[in-house]
């Protein structure tokens, strides 16, 4: 089984490809649909996701895997084909979000811990039968006055490691996602300090829980200034500091690193990824696992109208191609302007 896990993980970070995060909870996708004036129903969510998964060029050439939500992994397309089968037919690996969300951590005001370990073994067995070959669990670490605390970092690292061990037992590759949020007013150096501490704690716990690193993928934040920081670091500094932080903390055995976009604009997330890959000489492939940064443009183009499907697919294909170029350090801002 270890060889199989390693192969799946390697496919998820294949050169020129990245992961589409389409695992928005019902609440999150309702917010996204509200913004484009679309009612969020089981059918509208299905129609929107189906149009993404049927964007042939993007899915075949630029997308290595798709993270699904519990509802989506069970849904069939309008013609009766399971959505999982459409994804697999494109050559991408179907995956599933398995955590139950971040809840307040007792005794730690303002901090969260991700729940969902209870019953996870049984849920993973079911998801494997439904076609999932990788899973995702997100831990959330906030930066503010006095936080994060050691207690919060360790509780989340332990949860991530327990989840990862259960995934591998089930023949499923774990995406380990410890997200240090960029919502505050902190500068890039504070983000570096916290991200370093978080990743050290996570890999300490993964080792303790006997997780096979070759059969796992890391989904971290970039080392970046908080959104409310008065002077935000530029693209080159973000790239250099993110790479430096990862080199200090992430073992070379890890199959690959697929960044979250974490509230960055579409182009910002692409530019940062490309600048990191341009540095080169890294022990692991660096790719993307973007949700909003891949989907904002197609959602707006679609706006719930069937006649806009082609335009929405073109928007998705463009963002997928731009991020594919970023995985090899070849993205340029001029390519965005040409498409526009």
**Active site (catalytic) residues:** 177, 219
pLDDT per residue of the chain (340 residues) written in tens, 0 to 9: 777 999 999 999 999 999 999 999 999 999 999 999 999 999 999 999 999 999 999 999 999 999 999 999 999 999 999 999 999 999 999 999 999 999 999 999 999 999 999 999 999 999 999 999 999 999 999 999 999 999 999 999 999 999 999 999 999 999 999 999 999 999 999 999 999 999 999 999 999 999 999 999 999 999 999 999 999 999 999 999 999 999 999 999 999 999 999 888 889 999 999 999 999 999 999 999 999 899 999 999 999 999 999 999 999 999 999 999 999 999 998 888 766 5
Q: For domain 2-339, which architecture applies?
A: Alpha-Beta Barrel (3.20)
User: To the nearest 5 percent, what fractions of the chain are helix, strand and coil?
Assistant: 50, 15, 35
332, 333, 339, 340: CA torsion to nearest 10: 180
Residue 59's CB is within 10 A of a number of other CB atoms, namely 24
Distance CA 340, CA 338 (A): 5
The H or E element that residue 246 is part of is helix 235-249
Degrees (nearest 5) of the Cα angle 261, 262, 263? 100
Backbone phi, psi, residue 316, to 5°: -65, -45
Single pTM value for the model: 0.96
Question: Hey, which bits of 85-185 come out as E strands?
Answer: 93-97, 102-104, 112-114, 134-141, 173-180
76: which DSSP letter?
A: B
């Amino acid at each position: 089984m270890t060889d199989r896990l390693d192969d799946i993980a390697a496919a998820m970070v294949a050169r020129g490809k990245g992961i589409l995060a389409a695992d928005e909870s019902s609440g999150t996708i309702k917010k996204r649909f509200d913004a484009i004036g679309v009612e969020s129903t089981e059918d509208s969510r299905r129609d929107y996701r189906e149009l993404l998964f049927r964007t042939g060029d993007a899915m075949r050439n630029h997308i290595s895997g798709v993270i699904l939500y519990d509802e989506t992994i069970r849904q069939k397309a309008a013609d009766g084909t399971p959505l999982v089968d459409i994804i697999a037919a494109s050559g991408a690996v179907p995956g599933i979000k398995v955590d139950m969300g971040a809840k307040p951590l007792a005794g730690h005001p303002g901090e969260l811990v991700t729940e969902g370990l209870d019953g996870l073994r049984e849920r993973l067995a079911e998801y494997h039968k439904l076609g999932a070959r990788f899973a995702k669990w997100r831990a959330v670490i906030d930066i503010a006055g006095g936080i994060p605390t050691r207690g919060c970092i360790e509780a989340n690292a332990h949860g991530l490691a327990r989840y990862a061990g259960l995934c591998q037992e089930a023949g499923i590759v774990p995406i380990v996602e410890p997200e240090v949020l960029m919502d505050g007013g902190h500068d890039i150096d504070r983000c570096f300090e916290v991200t370093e501490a978080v990743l050290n704690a996570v890999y300490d716990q993964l080792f303790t829980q006997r997780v096979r690193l070759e059969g796992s993928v890391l989904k971290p934040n970039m080392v970046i200034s908080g959104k409310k920081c008065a002077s935000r670091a530029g693209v080159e500094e973000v790239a250099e500091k993110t790479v430096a932080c990862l080199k200090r903390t992430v073992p070379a055995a890890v199959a690959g690193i697929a960044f979250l976009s974490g509230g960055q604009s579409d182009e910002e997330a692409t530019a940062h990824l490309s600048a990191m890959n341009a540095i080169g000489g890294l022990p692991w492939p660096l790719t993307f696992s973007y949700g909003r940064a891949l989907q904002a443009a197609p959602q707006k183009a679609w706006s719930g109208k069937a006649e806009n499907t082609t335009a929405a697919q073109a928007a998705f294909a463009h963002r997928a191609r731009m991020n594919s170029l970023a995985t090899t350090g070849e993205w340029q801002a001029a390519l965005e302007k040409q498409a526009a």
